[in-house]
């Protein structure tokens, strides 16, 4: 496996001056980013297929991994909640060794294929679900077994690995190879392989959220207003989208119960009830709802917002 190879270039790494060592490590991080770019088309296809499945109200995004890969996958999923209001029952995690493995190394758990299979069965995956398996080696028994179990149940499966022709990539509908090669510290996939995984997962999940209508005009229109900073950001979004005064945006956001999409439509002159119905009619697509609002106003003899 390329991620386990010992690079002759770094055989005397411990004898290098620290500044040269650090520079080499940073160059490795740039190489990790470069390894993701050739997979842009494959990531896009996976994102489009995932969005189609997750458009079902009961669809879940399920992350599977072990060790570094599992932790990086879990971080990606957790951050979807505050950013895109995608959480709760719509996201799930299978991490070899259980939740404790997020903060403690439980290395032997990754070899337990039966646990991966059993834990995935416990989630009762369906054809509405999307399962993302992440393993730098591409061979992790726990991850491969869990993903195969999900695929057999009809879930859409996506795999990210850093070694070609490995079981994980052979087991999924969308195999995505992140060819980061040998690590500066042989086998330490928390370095280049981990960076490539973080970039690829961020790109994939954000693309899915955009396709699901949770981004409007480059804005986090579905974010949760969990603190004053985010509330201020939300008010600015409403002002930017509607060109309304701050006081109007504040009133709209209050009437919308802190739902930014609803607040935008209210600031444009809709009632909360009509705004909610308009969004429901276009599956939450704010752009489509705004266009519908403009059309209705013109049709009814008023002026478009």
CATH number, domain containing residue 71: 3.40.50.10490
pLDDT tens profile 28-42: 999 999 999 999 999
Could you tell me the pTM of the whole model?
A: 0.91
Instruction: Examine the domain organization and report whether 282 and 205 are in the same domain.
Output: no
How many domains are contained in the chain?
2
Q: In this structure, are residues 9 and 20 in contact, taking their beta carbons and an 8 Å threshold?
A: no
Whether residue 221 is contained in a domain is answered as no
Does the pLDDT of residue 305 top 80, yes or no? no
Among 211, 244, 261, give the residue marking a domain's end.
211
pLDDT tens profile 187-241: 889 999 999 999 999 999 999 999 999 999 999 999 999 999 999 999 999 999 9
Per-residue confidence (pLDDT) for residue 298, from 0 to 100: 53
**Residue range 2-30: average pLDDT?**
90
**Residue range 1-19: average pLDDT?**
87
Question: Residue 204: which of 27, 72, 26 has the closest Cα?
Answer: 72
**Residue range 42-61: average pLDDT?**
96
Instruction: Examine the domain organization and report whether 148 and 25 are in the same domain.
Output: yes
Q: The tokens 């599992």 sit on which residue?
A: 70
pLDDT tens profile 247-287: 999 999 999 999 999 999 999 999 999 999 999 989 889 99
Q: Read off the CATH number of the domain in which 285 is found.
A: 1.10.8.1080
Instruction: Examine the domain organization and report whether 129 and 21 are in the same domain.
Output: yes
Query: Going along the chain, which residue ranges are E strands?
Result: 61-65, 91-95, 130-134, 156-161, 174-177
Share of the chain above pLDDT 70, in %: 96
Catalytic residues: 79, 110
User: What SS3 state is found at 178?
Assistant: coil
Whether residue 242 is contained in a domain is answered as yes
Among 211, 236, 256, give the residue marking a domain's end.
211
Whether residue 305 is contained in a domain is answered as no
Instruction: Examine the domain organization and report whether 100 and 204 are in the same domain.
Output: yes
Instruction: Examine the domain organization and report whether 30 and 86 are in the same domain.
Output: yes
Instruction: Examine the domain organization and report whether 265 and 198 are in the same domain.
Output: no
**Residue range 162-177: average pLDDT?**
97
Per-residue confidence (pLDDT) for residue 294, from 0 to 100: 76
Per-residue confidence (pLDDT) for residue 30, from 0 to 100: 96
Per-residue confidence (pLDDT) for residue 115, from 0 to 100: 97
Instruction: Examine the domain organization and report whether 21 and 152 are in the same domain.
Output: yes
């Amino acid at each position: 496996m390329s991620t386990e190879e010992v690079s002759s270039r770094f055989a005397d790494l411990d004898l290098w001056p620290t500044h040269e060592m650090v520079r080499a490590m940073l160059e490795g991080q740039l190489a990790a980013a470069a390894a993701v770019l050739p997979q842009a088309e494959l990531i896009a296809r996976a994102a489009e297929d995932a969005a189609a499945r997750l458009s079902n109200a009961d669809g879940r995004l399920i992350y599977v991994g072990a060790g570094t890969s599992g932790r990086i996958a879990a971080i990606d999923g957790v951050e979807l909640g505050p950013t895109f209001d995608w959480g709760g029952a719509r996201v799930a995690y299978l991490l070899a060794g259980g939740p404790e493995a997020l903060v403690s190394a439980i290395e032997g758990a990754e070899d337990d294929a039966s646990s991966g299979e059993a834990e995935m069965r416990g989630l009762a995956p369906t054809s509405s679900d999307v399962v993302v398996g992440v393993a730098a080696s591409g061979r992790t028994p726990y991850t491969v077994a869990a993903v195969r179990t999900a695929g057999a149940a009809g879930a859409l499966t996506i795999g990210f690995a850093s070694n070609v022709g490995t079981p994980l990539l052979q087991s999924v509908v969308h195999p995505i190879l992140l060819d980061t090669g040998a690590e500066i510290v042989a086998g330490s996939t928390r370095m280049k392989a981990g960076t490539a995984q973080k970039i690829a997962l961020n790109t994939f999940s954000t693309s899915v959220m955009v396709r699901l209508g949770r981004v409007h005009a480059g804005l986090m229109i579905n974010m949760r207003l969990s603190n004053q900073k985010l509330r201020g950001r939300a008010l600015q979004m409403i002002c930017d989208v509607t060109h309304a005064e701050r006081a109007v945006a504040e009133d709209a956001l209050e009437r919308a119960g802190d739902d930014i999409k609803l607040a935008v439509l209210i600031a444009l002159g809709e009632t909360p009830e009509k705004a909610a119905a308009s969004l429901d009619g276009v599956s939450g697509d704010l752009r489509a709802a705004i266009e519908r609002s403009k059309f209705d106003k013109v049709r009814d003899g008023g002026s478009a917002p």
